[in-house]
Amino acid sequence: MAELIGGIGTSHVPAVGAAIDNGRQAEPYWAPYFEKIQPARQWIADQKPDVCIVVFNDHASAFSLDLIPTFALGVASSFPPADEGYGPRQVPTALGHPELAWHLAESLILDEFDMTIVNQMPIDHGCTVPLSVAFDQPEAWPCRIIPLCVNVIQYPAPTGRRCYQLGRAIRRAIDSWTGDERVVIFGTGGMSHQLQGERAGLVNLEFDQAFIDRLINDPAGQAEVPHVEYLREAGSEGIELVMWLIMRGALDEAVRVVHRMHHVPTSNTSNGLLVLENG
């Protein structure tokens, strides 16, 4: 059967993608951040997963206000980088894994998670920046990608508990797949940040650290935290952190921390990265 080998939690800040695309990783502003993520890059290079499931949110790229799926699973054979308003990022087209993705869709829906199935989905920075964080600038992404898009822009996002349970259902689906793929799951977004309003620029390091502690040791407890606490404590865009709970739910109850880092700021965002292996 397929094996879930680990999970990565990471912010998906556009400016990080731009720094990579424009060769600015060694500049004083960026060097400390890229130094801190190096162990994660090493880990995934050593692990050589066949498939990465990337949980992220679309930012008005593939989906508009015309159609707002809460959970949308990409089953296509390829996912091109999106034009988000300033031309697509110059990164490889992600190749999908339609067989496994369709298995996930069928398994999850029969497990009572009503997924939206997507055949056409350009992927924006929410998905491509985590790939760049993990793989830097390859000619082609070194594994197949299954994008899982979560609505966190139109209130309300799915609850933390629902996200955590979806992660567990994803694990059941992976465990029941007869292929021998090695899978890594990404939960992306956050950490504390607020892009909008007079309160723009909010950062709450204490909240972020406590979130990661609890995600590791008491994910079911963290899953009970209500939206208003994220909005108030981690900023309006900090609600993206519920997507890390999907990643965590897919892992074993006991996990081993491979790498953990925090860096403030990347642009307007408190940037966290966490690499977990099944315990």
Per CB under 8 A, residues contacting other proteins are: 14-15, 59-61, 64-66, 82-87, 153-156, 192, 194-207, 227-228, 231-233, 235-237, 264-265, 267-268, 270
The candidate with the shortest Cα–Cα distance to 160, out of 79, 265, 244, 93, is 244
Q: Pick between residue 165 and residue 270 the one whose CB is nearest to other proteins.
A: 270
Long-range CB contacts for residues 35-40, cutoff 8 Å, separation at least 24: 36/261, 36/263, 36/273, 37/10, 37/133, 37/261, 37/273, 39/258, 39/259, 39/261, 39/275, 40/8, 40/10, 40/133, 40/134, 40/258, 40/259, 40/261, 40/273, 40/275
Instruction: In angstroms, give the least distance from the CB of 52 to other proteins.
Output: 24
Catalytic residue check, 103: no
| Alpha-carbon torsion (217, 131, 20, 84), positive or negative | negative
DSSP-derived letter for residue 143 is S
User: Closer to other proteins at the Cβ: 116 or 268?
Assistant: 268
d(CA 279, CA 262): 22
In angstroms, give the least distance from the CB of 84 to other proteins. Answer: 6
Residue 188 backbone dihedrals phi, psi, to 5 degrees: -125, 170
**Residue placing its CB nearer to other proteins in the complex, 136 or 206:** 206
Work out how close the CB of 44 gets to other proteins at its nearest, in angstroms, rounded to a whole number: 28
The DSSP 8-state label assigned to residue 93 in this structure reads P
| Active-site annotation holder among 12, 97, 103, 193 | 193
* Active-site entry in 59, 125, 227, 263: 125
Cα separation, 73 vs 127, in Å, equals 13
Q: To the nearest whole angstrom, how small is the minimum distance from the Cβ of residue 187 to other proteins? A: 19
Angle at 127 between CA 143 and CA 200, to 5 degrees: 155
Q: Toward other proteins, which CB reaches closer, 177 or 211?
A: 211
Minimum distance from residue 229 beta carbon to other proteins (Å): 10
Measured from the CB atom, is 82 or 212 closer to other proteins?
82
Catalytically active residues are 125, 193
